[in-house]
Amino acid sequence: ICQGDSITLDPGTGADSYLWSTNDATQTITASTAGNYKVTATGTNGCSISDSTNLIVNALPIVTAISSAPEVCDGNQATLTGSGTGTGTLTYTWNHNVTNQLPFTPTSTETYTLTGIDANNCENTDMITVIVNPLPIVTGTATAPEICIGDSVTLTGSGASTIIWDNNVDDTVPFAPSTTETYTVTGTDANNCSSTDSVTVVVNLLPIVEANVSASAVCEGEQVTLMGSGADTYTWDNNNVIDNVPFVPLSTLSYIVTGVDTNNCSNTDQITVTVNPLPIVIANATATAVCFGDDVTLSGSGADSYFWTNGVTDSVAFNPTATLSYMVTGTDANNCSNTDEITITVNPLPDVTLENFEIACLNFPEFDLSGGNPVNGTYLIGGTNPVTSFNPSDFTVGIHAVTYTYTDVNGCTSSAQGLIEVSECTSIAETAFGAGSVKVYPNPAFNQFTLEVNAIVNEAAEIMVYNSNGKIVKVEKTNLLEGKNNIKFETSEFARGVYYIQVLTNTNNIQQKVVLN
């Protein structure tokens, strides 16, 4: 038998009394100790018979229960192994449907019993408890589920004592991911049990922002419009520039635009607006005051090209007819323009007149020239040198032109012409008409004028019209009646200018001047 077991020894029936070597006198005894057991049976006739048996008590095997881990985490496997010594090879069995040396997954803390049986079929047991620790509840969080590329995010794990993230991320330490990624956190508690959680961080690309401008170079004072593209909203630096709203830049400057897209991701771009200064334009004139009929030349300086008002061409002489202000617009190589103004004063020509001269006889003495108005002008007779007197003997018989020239305080010059007739005075009485006896009207005239002659007597007259060069352009003969005579002259075919009229009779010789406008 096995140690701890017992066996009933029974010699069988048929005897009257029994005596065992253990001094027991019963038919059967229970034996648990190794040794030789003898029984003597005596019948009713006093006859006896003996028998004996040897009882062997086998020691129990020594059995030890072993677990691969005395504590496991929920969901982890454990392996139970039986070990021991005894007679022959031991076989092992476990309760709770556990197979010796075969991994299994315990669901809760449990005590497992091992039974070991040796070759004598003697068995022994041992027990072991496997503690199942619950997994920690690990939670992974991110400071932002979506970020823009280049931004930092911080991952934090909780629910365990030790936190480890994959992808080389350190718990609670900011980092900048370059792509969208799912990060797994492993939390381990004091029982060395671990659990995981995961969090996805979406990395949005930055918008491709472009800074645009209506003109990269403008002139001082001109407007420019800055516009961003590639995002949804735009913000500009420098003087509160508003996207797509015109403004006037004060100087050359670089402007940075920040564009933000629907993911709230932003990017920047930069553009430079060059502000070109306006040219310093100066209006110049060959003279700022001229006389009527004189030319003047206007020219601009300080730019590259020039445009003048009032039809003036730069650096080309013209004849201004009245005092006027002229504005020049100068444009430089940057197409920037500026203006200046200059006033040209046109001074009128002086109103110069010259009274007619009486006939000068060859035998007259030299006399001073007069009759020019305003006074202090100069007289010219057939030459370029001014003269102050006239000596008839120095001239031939005939009509000689006298030019009277006067220059006023503005330096403006005008002339009047008269005629001096040099005569031999052999047959003509040298008595003149009375004062006011010969008149011309209107004067100045246009296409006709009237010559009024107040004659003292009835007499024939020859009327000659000279141009300013002393050439006769018209001769008319008429009979004058005593009193007022009106003779009309058509002058539409005459050139405009100054003409001299000579009225010659047997008794008179007088001159008048008429201006045709």
**pLDDT tens, 301-360?**
999 999 999 999 999 999 999 999 999 999 999 999 999 999 999 999 999 999 877 777
Q: Which residue do the tokens 């009047």 mark?
A: 416
**Average pLDDT estimate for 155-163:** 97
**Average pLDDT estimate for 47-69:** 96
Decide the pairing of beta strands 472-480 and 324-331.
unpaired
pLDDT of residue 204: 97
Q: Which residue do the tokens 């909780």 mark?
A: 158
Beta bridge partners of 516: 445, 497
Which tens digit of pLDDT belongs to each residue from 235-261? Answer: 999 878 999 999 999 999 999 999 999
- Helix ranges (DSSP H) in 448-495: none
Is the model's pLDDT at 455 over the cut of 90? no
pLDDT of residue 469: 66
Q: Are the C-beta atoms of 230 and 212 separated by less than 8 Å?
A: no
Domain final residue, candidates 177, 204, 231: 204
Same domain assignment for residues 225 and 254: yes
Q: What is the enclosing helix (H) or strand (E) of 194? A: strand 194-204
* Residue 178, domain member (yes or no): yes
Same domain assignment for residues 436 and 511: yes
* Residue 394, domain member (yes or no): no
CA 475 – CA 452 distance, rounded (Å): 16
Q: What is the DSSP string of 100-122?
A: TT--B--SS-EEEEEEEE-TTS-
Same domain assignment for residues 194 and 153: yes
- The helix/strand/coil state of 403 is strand
Q: What is the DSSP string of 47-102?
A: -EEEEEEEE--BPPPEEEEEES-SEEETT--B-EEEEEE-SS--EEEESTTPPTT-
Q: Say which DSSP state 277 is in.
A: P
* Residue 453, domain member (yes or no): yes
**How far is the CA of 195 from the CAs of 140, 160, 300, in angstroms?**
11, 9, 89
* Residue 384, domain member (yes or no): no
Number of domains in the chain: 6
Torsion over CA: 128, 134, 135, 136 (sign): negative
pLDDT of residue 361: 75
**Residues in CB range of 345: below 8 A, 6 or more apart:** 288, 289, 290, 323
pLDDT of residue 318: 97
* Residue 33, domain member (yes or no): yes
Q: What is the DSSP string of 355-402?
A: PPPPPEETTPPPEE---EESSS-EEESSSSS-BSEE-GGGS-SEEEEE
Cβ atoms within 10 Å, residue 318: 16
Same domain assignment for residues 189 and 245: no
Domain CATH number, residue 476: 2.60.40.1930
Six-digit token string for 295: 């030319």
Domain final residue, candidates 328, 347, 366: 347
Same domain assignment for residues 290 and 334: yes
Q: Are the C-beta atoms of 453 and 461 separated by less than 8 Å?
A: yes
Specify the higher pLDDT residue, 154 or 394.
Answer: 154
Same domain assignment for residues 480 and 495: yes
CA nearest 508: which of 388, 402, 384, 421? 421
Six-digit token string for 242: 């508003």
CA 439 – CA 350 distance, rounded (Å): 23
Same domain assignment for residues 167 and 242: no
Domain CATH number, residue 229: 2.60.40
Decide the pairing of beta strands 367-368 and 389-390.
antiparallel
Phi, psi dihedral angles at 392 (to 5 degrees) = -55, -30
- For 118-154, strand residue ranges (E) read 123-133, 139-142, 146-148
Same domain assignment for residues 253 and 172: no
Same domain assignment for residues 516 and 437: yes
Taking the CA of residue 344 as centre, how many other CA atoms within 13 Å lie in the half-sphere pointing to its CB? 28
Decide the pairing of beta strands 91-94 and 48-55.
unpaired
The vertex-125 CA angle with 124 and 126, nearest 5°, equals 140
Domain CATH number, residue 74: 2.60.40.10
Q: Are the C-beta atoms of 111 and 139 separated by less than 8 Å?
A: no
CA 167 – CA 144 distance, rounded (Å): 18
pLDDT more than 70, % of the chain: 97
Which tens digit of pLDDT belongs to each residue from 175-224? Answer: 999 999 999 999 999 999 999 999 999 999 999 999 999 999 999 999 99
Q: Is this structure's pTM higher than 0.75? A: no
* Residue 94, domain member (yes or no): yes
CA 70 – CA 130 distance, rounded (Å): 5
* Residue 371, domain member (yes or no): no
Same domain assignment for residues 258 and 199: no
Full domain range(s) for residue 77: 62-133
* Residue 389, domain member (yes or no): no
Q: Are the C-beta atoms of 389 and 366 separated by less than 8 Å?
A: yes
Which tens digit of pLDDT belongs to each residue from 418-453? Answer: 888 887 764 333 333 443 478 888 888 888 999 999
Domain final residue, candidates 302, 326, 347: 347
Is the model's pLDDT at 364 over the cut of 90? no
